[in-house]
Amino acid sequence: MTERAVITSLSQMLTQEFVFSILVLHGPNLNLLGQREPGIYGSVTLAEINRLLVAEGVKLQAEISHMQSNHEGVLVDAIHSASQDKQGILINAGAYTHTSVAIRDAIASVKLPTVEVHLSNIYQREAFRHHSYIAPVAIGQISGFGAESYRLGLIALMHHLKSRTTT
Ligand code: CA2
């Protein structure tokens, strides 16, 4: 085996074994998904979205942890804890997107790359949903693709993390 071939296979081994830990956070009322208001948020349940993300994570070398809370402080605590063992955050903060300086400050303080996602297109809805406190501290936002917003958000987050690792 040439020196070059050894280096190539070593780097392939390293790449394959490197798994990123990602925290998926769901904010208030998202536990009701699939049970109420299917006209706006679709019929997919939160459990189905979580399963979809875990499966997508296997393809992308991402280990997914997920949690949902209806309480702002619980979400803030989860963001703080993520700084200990996670490399990125995917968040749908629900209505807190439009109100929570606390969640915005928590994301800014942990300095973990964060992607904001929304099931609905928040810019096609009421004016109060057009402003996000999270957007300025996120690396990007995906809005309007239903459950697919989460998958696209995970792909974007992993793309960001992998490109940062290799450059
Ligand atoms: O489109 C999104 O993902 C939102 O983050 C959803 C939030 C809303 O406040 C944001 O403006 C946009 C609301 C989540 C509530 O989810 C429900 C699901 C089923 C039934 C009732 C609420």
pLDDT (average), residues 127-146? 98
pLDDT value at residue 13: 58
pLDDT value at residue 118: 98
Whether 9 has a pLDDT exceeding 80, the answer reads no
Between 34-38, 53-57, 59-63, the lowest mean confidence (pLDDT) is in 34-38
- Residue nearest atom 18 of ligand 1, based on CA coordinates: 33
User: pTM score, two decimals?
Assistant: 0.91
Q: Which of 41, 96, 133, 150 is catalytic?
A: 41
Spell out where 30-79 has E strands.
62-68
pLDDT tens-digit series, residues 25-46: 999 999 999 998 888 888 999 9
pLDDT value at residue 128: 98
Give the residues surrounding ligand 1 with Cβ less than 6 Å away. 29-30, 32-33, 36-37, 41, 92, 94-95, 97, 118-120, 122, 129
